[in-house]
Structure 1
């Protein structure tokens, strides 16, 4: 158990720690000379059963409240010291406010220097204390009077702390490891050592960790837990870690950094939070109000961005967005405190809600509902409520990281909520089982209706389908949902088009006969240099306009692609050419190839080879620069079988989810091979506002 000792300057905190533990908390020469605590002091008390109580003695002077805040992180139990002769003083009230803002609800009030007064004065001080703690986290806490000079009450207080430590359940160590650094130093023959209280998880000798927010990797060479050499430390222990690594030095690890599980390294400089302003503040807090933000052992400048219409009045609470001057390593549900920029007073504090808030549309009802869900302390309740707000899906991996959940805890959450998880690279979109059923019903009904109305089309464009469906998933989540539905054989993905698995685009009987006569002319040995429309018309004795109409229809059905004007290639031949390009690019040391190399592999003329490559350039399969081209493998599925996702944006070549893709009717991929020479059919592209 970590015990913090707080209170006004010269109220006997350091003497109290020494009386309880026998250890002098003031370790600096300046502290001993001035008779006041300047930095954090630490002491330990071994007890029966192998436990060790850790004490953190924090400065009481108003100029060192920022240091007090650094030591308050990780405290399990607080002793609020009040001198019997002085009673409640300004820093007593400020320390009490900070204890309340940090949510430290377990503690005792200790009246020190009891030998200086009589019973009447002790009763007055106790009554004064009870009035001060009313409405705070320490309301109802017991009061004990002690004297470090005579020893009165010290043994009883020590026994009570030991009994509390034995009776209290230790912090769960299921989460991932985090330790805020409150001291960093070097020892000769050892190297860099950092100390702090473990907030969550556990750490072992040999573990690889990350120093955040700097991102410096390190390895735990050795450690002490509760002032004893150990192989591991866990949540609730004060630990000293000996860190090693090529970039690890005393300068690279500072107070305020957090040593953590590398998977948690995700610094943020913008946070949505719940903020409570202390009642004694003189003025409301307005828009863009500057403050100093204290989180764990870190201190950083910040601005308050109001998410409501009115300033936050003293004693009131509201949701805000915190815009930080520098990124910090934080977790959702972490506590924080804000002070004024002159470091004269504590203004308020609260709890972090969302570490990845949007910059825009932060005041919408939908965003307010998301914040209300994320504000719930229990992860299961919070994530379940989040999935009931628009857009009805969320990244489970990000949520688990921000809540410091282990893999086992994340799996338990997934099972408890019966989530449908849609993996897309490192992203794991989650949707509730009920919403997934609604989504699948909606997609099947929409595709069925589309095929009835358009039997000759291969399918509907992905983005158009996404805009039709409810819930309307974000584009990356929608792609992951389509891939799951395709794996379950409910639908099929043809490039940028979606269809029912059983659907086949069909010609009318008259067109079917014409296609059977024309298709062979586009294949065989001449497949890489097929005849143009006018040549096909002459060869078959048909009107040129009829042949062109039929080939355009074949394009919409996914049977052919118009590579150049009036120059159609069968879709399987386009597949074959994409494979040839992939092999050609793979055979080059730098992946770049020339048009001449491609022409030689096809055995056709330079003009046709250039037209084919320009077709692939238009659709991003190849990237043309100078005389060379390179393959973009992410785009290969436009003209072949869909490839598995490889990134958070869905990983496929569909424009949906790309940063340069603008959703809407006018930006729908052109049907029939997505060719810019072909005009989309009216049934696929109604005017804006049409149905």
Structure 2
């Protein structure tokens, strides 16, 4: 389905022309019919020669209702600019054209209406004026067709041109994150709440759960209608009526956005490319912002100047007082009072506050505003550091297919690298080559320093490395797992170390160890419990099987321990029961050493308690 929006001055015959083309009167309000004046949006449709449906959105031409016109013209594929032959170009003709140009609408037909009221020579003058007016705009060189609904002049020719141009409209993007800017809501007896609008960015189906933003009301799609026909699903670019359950009609209003859960978020700011018209725009100006079907008050922060002079452009940041829903590349219009003063497109729908005149920020926004998806994808990865394909697609408002294609190019040019989260989750994540190098070097450098300061420790925990390198935990986890998989780092239990690291003693520590073991062996069965040696050295000796720890403060040299163990095993063979007193007599020691040693034997499954002594452990017991 394609959507055509009207544009033009009040009383130039837009609604009458739509009714003549479609057989449907788009004026739906009683006041509109009484006054012969379109106040709000009107809707109609027709089918082309191939039975393809074309929707019409009829917008008001009066200057008081420009905000309604802006709501209607959002999301259209083509504009039908209507200019009356008896009045030619009027103020709202010019303002509507400025809006069309700011919204970058390129497909258009100009219909000169009421040609039966003027002479042929006058129509030629009107044509010349129109050609001069549209020169240099987005609808330059659009066909101009003379019409009269009273005499049926040009109606069939207009239809033919509409069908011809509509065929050239590109297929609507489907990035699988549907949203519906709501332009109308009402309640029907027996059905309940109905919301209408033009579906963007994805497909919706009956039965899906939905969220209404910014209030975050939740509900479900009960039914979908397209041109009064019930359907099970609707594709992007379609005008739809959605029957909602779980949400009251009173909760729904123009300017809200319907979306699936988890796909969009509200924001209070947006980075934009801003274009001024005939008025200067000052830094921190408060303006009326129009985008989609939403109107909001916004402050404009110019990022590289104090004044944006007329007919110029720059980067700016919109600051709003109430949350709204933006998507990247959404067009917008700004008005001051009753005048349209500029517009542009959204570059980043969720930015931080920027310092003014930052060349780095301006360069980044230049890349994000580029028509090159490759530059946009690279900038998104640069900002968020590590992202999967789905997130890049969502942030950039680019289809998964196009995102995947740009990622492939960036990988081939070695501008980005591919990471995996872990062996179980094989989803691919992407990081700029520069960022990967910086963060990887940070982790490697930290471990080198850690091993230098703690040469006997086997490694550091992930939590310890992450906190002291100040790397986001999720990003750190992805990076560390890839370093382990590549073999640069080694993980043993919960500790991480450099592949090259092996705990070893210094010369002075070796001297200290030899001295310590001599002390242990000089009092072999009752070693000293006040250890003067460092805890790291003791752990190293345990790891190297030089000593064995029986309890918190009792440590034996491995030579003494093996000797004692051999004697105990012989005693167990001679006697069925080995008691506390047997240990004390065998090693001429006290209860202080006896009880911990016997408990150690039980824990090591060498013995087990039996009555008032120990017997040899048997797995079959």
TM-score, normalised via structure 2 length: 0.76
Per-residue CA distance 1:423-443 (angstroms, 9 max, x = gap): 599x99630357546765775
- Aligned-pair RMSD on alpha carbons? 3.7
Give the secondary structure class of the aligned counterpart of 1:264: coil
When residues 557 and 417 of structure 1 are mapped into structure 2, their CA distance, relative to the original with a 3 A threshold, is farther
**In the alignment, is the contact (CA less than 8 A) between 2:305 and 2:357 conserved in 1?**
no
When Rg is computed on C-alpha atoms for both structures, the one with the higher figure is 2
Say whether residues 1:430 and 2:458 are aligned partners: no
> Is the contact made by 1:175 and 1:404 (CA closer than 8 Å) also made in structure 2?
no
Question: Greater shift after overlay, 285-294 or 7-16?
Answer: 285-294
The within-5 A match list for 1:601-612 is: none
Task: Please name the residue that 1:132 is paired with.
Answer: 133
Cα distance in structure 1, aligned partners of 2:483 and 2:244: 47
* Range moving further from structure 2, 430-439 or 78-87: 430-439
How many Å apart are 1:337 and its aligned residue? 0.7
CA 1:141–1:84 in 2, change beyond 3 Å: closer, same or farther? same
Moved more, 145-154 or 498-507: 498-507
1:367 is the counterpart of 2:361: yes
Does the aligned pair in 1 maintain the 2:286–2:297 contact within 8 Å? yes
Matched-pair contact (CA < 8 Å) for 2:421–2:477: no
User: How much does 1:268 deviate?
Assistant: 0.7
State the partner residue of 1:10: 11
Query: In the alignment, is the contact (CA less than 8 A) between 1:226 and 1:237 conserved in 2?
Result: no
Contact 2:380 2:392 in 1 (8 A): no
How do 1:320-335 and structure 2 match up within 5 A? 320-335=316-331
Give 1:380 deviation, angstroms: 3.5
Matched, 1:298 2:291: no
Question: Are 2:262 and 1:260 equivalent residues in the alignment?
Answer: no
Q: Distance in 2 between matches of 1:431 and 1:286?
A: 38
Distance 1:480 1:79 in 2: 52
- Give the conservation status (yes or no) of the 8 Å contact 1:451–1:459: yes
* Structure 1 Cα separation of the partners of residues 361 and 540 of structure 2: 40
Conserved? CA contact 1:176–1:405, under 8 Å: no
Distance 2:30 2:121 in 1: 39
2:561 aligns with none
Aligned pairs for 1:397-546 (under 5 A) are 398-405=391-398, 411=404, 414-418=407-411, 419-421=417-419, 423=421, 430-432=430-432, 436=436, 440=440, 444=444, 447=447, 451=451, 455-459=455-459, 476-492=474-490, 498-508=496-506, 509-513=510-514, 540=527
What is the distance in 1 between the residues matched to 2:463 and 2:55?
59
Q: Structure 2 stretches of 5 or more lacking a match?
A: 412-416, 544-550, 555-621
Measure how far apart 1:183 and its partner are: 0.7
Secondary structure (helix, strand or coil) at the match of 1:50 reads: coil
Equivalent residue, structure 1, for 2:91:
90
TM superposition shift of 1:549: 5.5
Taking structure 1 as reference, are residues 497 and 124 closer, same or farther at Cα in structure 2, changes over 3 Å only? farther
Q: Deviations over 1:401-425 (max 9, x none)?
A: 2334566665555445434246599
Contact 2:457 2:536 in 1 (8 A): no
Q: Deviations over 1:579-618 (max 9, x none)?
A: xxxxxxxxxxxxxxxxxxxxxxxxxxxxxxxxxxxxxxxx
| 1:288 shift after superposition | 1.6
Q: Secondary structure at the match of 1:147?
A: coil
Report the alpha carbon displacement of residue 391 of structure 1 after superposing the two structures with TM: 8.0
Q: Aligned residue pairs: how many? A: 533
CA distance in 2, matches of 1:184, 1:331: 22
Deviation of 1:3 (Å): 0.6
What per-residue deviation string (whole Å, max 9, x for no partner) do you get for residues 300-348 of structure 1? 11111121133111111111111112111121111111111x3x11111
DSSP-derived class of the 1:139 partner: coil
SS at match of 2:281: coil
- The structural deviation recorded for 1:159 is 1.6
Q: In structure 2, do the counterparts of structure 1 residues 435 and 124 end up closer, same or farther at CA, with 3 Å as the change threshold?
A: same
Q: What displacement does 1:207 show?
A: 2.4
Q: Taking structure 1 as reference, are residues 452 and 183 closer, same or farther at Cα in structure 2, changes over 3 Å only? A: same
The alpha-carbon distance between structure 1 residues 496 and 511, as it changes in their structure 2 partners (threshold 3 A), is farther
1:108 aligns with 2:109: yes
Contact 2:174 2:203 in 1 (8 A): yes
**Cα distance in 2 for residues equivalent to 1:335 and 1:519:** 80
CA distance in 1, matches of 2:106, 2:516: 80
How many Å apart are 1:65 and its aligned residue? 0.5
Deviates more, 1:492-501 or 1:474-483: 492-501
1:501 Cα shift? 3.7
Match of 1:376 among 361, 370, 381: 370
Check the 8 A contact 2:107/2:165 in 1, yes or no.
no
Separation (CA, whole Å) in 1 of partners of 2:85 and 2:165: 25
Q: Using a 3 Å threshold, how does the CA distance of structure 1 residues 103 and 226 change in structure 2: closer, same or farther?
A: farther
**C-alpha spacing 1:62/1:428, structure 2 compared with 1 (3 Å):** farther
**Secondary structure in structure 1 of the residue aligned to 2:140:** coil
Q: Any idea what the Cα deviations from partners look like across 1:476-498, whole Å, max 9, x if unmatched? A: 52343123323544314689975
Does the 8 Å contact 1:273/1:321 carry over to 2? yes
Q: How does 1:588-599 map to 2 (within 5 A)?
A: none
Task: Return the alpha-carbon distance in structure 2 between the equivalents of residues 185 and 519 of structure 1.
Answer: 89
2:534 paired residue among 532, 550, 554: 550
| Whole-angstrom distance in 1 between the partners of 2:237 and 2:54 | 10
CA deviation string 1:460-510 (max 9, x = no partner): 7989978999xx966652343123323544314689975214523333423
Whole-angstrom distance in 1 between the partners of 2:108 and 2:518: 90
Q: 1:159 corresponds to which residue?
A: 160
The residue aligned with 2:613 is: none
Shift in alpha-carbon separation, 1:20–1:164, aligned structure 2, 3 A: same
Query: Structure 1 residues 249, 497: CA separation in 2 closer, same or farther (over 3 Å shift)?
Result: same
Counterpart Cα distance in 1 of 2:118 and 2:297: 44
Gapped regions of structure 1 (runs ≥ 5): 521-535, 560-566, 571-691
Task: Tell me what 2:594 maps to.
Answer: none
Aligned equivalent of 2:603:
none
> Under a length normalisation based on structure 1, what TM-score does the superposition of the two structures give?
0.69
Question: Does the aligned pair in 1 maintain the 2:304–2:356 contact within 8 Å?
Answer: no
1:9-63 CA-to-partner distances (Å, cap 9, x unmatched) read 0111011101111111111110011110001000011223231111110000111
Structure 1 residues 173 and 398: alpha-carbon distance in aligned structure 2, compared to 1, 3 A threshold: closer
SS across alignment from 1:18: helix
Cα contact 1:178–1:198 (8 A) shared by 2: yes
Aligned counterparts of 2:317 and 2:474: Cα–Cα separation in 1: 26
